[in-house]
Each structure stands twice: as C-alpha cells, then as structure tokens.
Amino acid sequence: MYETYLVKTTFVLIMLIMSINSQTSHAAPTNSSNLIYSKDSHPYGTSYSEWMSKWWQWHVSLPNKVNEQDPSNLSQIHPRESYSPEKCAWNQTNKDVWFLSDGRSLGLSDFADAEIRKCTVPQDKALLVQIYGGGCDFSEGLKTDEELRDCVNIGLDTVKFTAKVDGVEVMSSENRADFLHNPFLYNITYTDDNIYDVSPGTYRAMANGYFLFLKPLDIGNHMIEFNEAYFKPGSEGQPSPENRLSNVVYDVTVK
C-alpha cells in the first residue's frame, strides 16, 4: 500500500507540473544570470544566504490577525494565505530588494490552477521570493543547530519546482544543485499576531531552500511564475503534514 500510494501520487504531481509548465514553455536562456542572482553572488554587498534570512524576517513580520467582529474581513490576514494587491507593499522597507510572499499550500485538486497576484513594484528593485524551503527556530522546541539543519533540509532533495519570468524558465528542480546553498544561521524576531502564532521574542533560527532572486526588471508589466510540489508519505502510505503544493503567478507592474 505504501509504495503504491507513493508511486501514484508522485506520478500525478509530476504530470500536473509538466502540464502547467507546457502551457508557457519557452527555450531557457543560455545565461540566466541576466535575470537572476546566482547562489554564490553577494547582491548589494550581502550574501545570498543572508538574504534568505532577511526574507524570512520580513515574512514573519507581516500580520496575520483575524477580525473577531467580522471574520469575513481578511484585510489583516497574511498575504500568503489571503492575497490582495495592496498587501504586496506591506513592510517593504529594504532600499534594494522587494520581497514577495510565497504560495499558500494547496490541495491536489487545486494545484493545476495558478493563483494570480497583482503587484506594483518600484523601479530598480530586485525581487526575492521563496519557492520551497524551511525556516526553523528554537520556538518549535528544537534545541541544537543539528536539529535546525534537519528541519530546514526536509524535502530539499525531492521537491519538484520551476520558476519562469515572462515565459522563460529560469529555475528548475532538474538542476537543483545550481540553486541550493548552505543553511544560514541567524536570529529571528517574532511580533504579535504572526503567521505561526509564535510567542513574541527572538529565537536562534536557520533558513534554507530554493529562492527566486530576480535582478531589477525593466519598467512595464512582467509575469513571474513559480510552482512547487513536495510529497512525503506518512504512516501506512497516507499523506503526512510535510505535503506541500503551490502554484503562483505574480502579475507585476514595475514603475
């Protein structure tokens, strides 16, 4: 049962990814460095790995607050879980880089339909978003750096993903080694009403994953697409909490 369930589910995911990618398939550029920063680069004088931690700090700084008087009012819900165009500008205080929220976790039946997100970005801003990865810290009960490393590395060797800019593929799990870097240790600070319901405070943390780090785009409209599919079977072949699927298209206007 375990092997049959795993094979069938993995096959479905792969077919879905192939279907999504074929809809906007273009020849990959011979040198994607024209569009994205490499994992060994130091954009704006900061290592790529440290930028991962900056993205995570931004991610947990965004509010996720339920309106108790009107639960249908989602204006203060984290943009990953309930996106609206004005949320794209939340907490964008970095002078060089504009952070984008990653995709919300989808069910298998919803994976084929991308979530379209409109966003207006100032000229001369790089763009950074996590496609798949982990941010783990001592608030979760982890006590050692080794435990943090095990946590952030979950799924990194098996997740399927792609990323495209204006229809041109710039990242793929087919050459995942080109995009995976070493885990980065840092301290993360949580405030009230964060997305993970962590008690406010500062914790030892680690980040790792696959990030799309785009160089500043030309003025005008751009389509940024990324999807990820990770499946880890649990006991008796049933899905485990580590399952994660997302499919996002950012319709970006640079001006």
pLDDT per residue over 47-80, tens digit each? 999 999 999 999 999 999 988 888 888 999 999 9
Question: What are the backbone angles phi and psi of residue 60, rounded to the nearest 5°?
Answer: -80, -10
Residue 63 CB-density burial (10 A; 0-12 exposed, 13-18 middle, 19+ buried) = middle
The residue length of the chain stands at 255
For residue 33, give every residue at least 6 positions away whose Cβ sits within 8 Å of its Cβ, in sequence order, or none. Answer: none
pLDDT for residue 190 is more than 60: yes
Q: What pLDDT, on a 0 to 100 scale, did the predictor assign at position 242?
A: 62
For residue 158, give every residue at least 6 positions away whose Cβ sits within 8 Å of its Cβ, in sequence order, or none. Answer: 230, 232
pLDDT for residue 16 is more than 60: no
Residue 57 CA to residue 72 CA, distance in Å, equals: 27
Q: What pLDDT, on a 0 to 100 scale, did the predictor assign at position 237?
A: 60
**What are the structure tokens assigned to 153, written together?**
């590395």
pLDDT per residue over 149-163, tens digit each? 999 999 999 999 999
Residue 64 CA to residue 77 CA, distance in Å, equals: 4
Contact 77, 66 (CB under 8 A): yes
Question: What are the backbone angles phi and psi of residue 187, rounded to the nearest 5°?
Answer: -110, 130
Contact 211, 140 (CB under 8 A): no
Q: What pLDDT, on a 0 to 100 scale, did the predictor assign at position 241?
A: 60
Please identify which residue in the block is written with the tokens 């375990």: 2
Question: What are the backbone angles phi and psi of residue 53, rounded to the nearest 5°?
Answer: -65, -35
pLDDT for residue 26 is more than 60: no
- Residues 216-221 have a mean pLDDT of 98
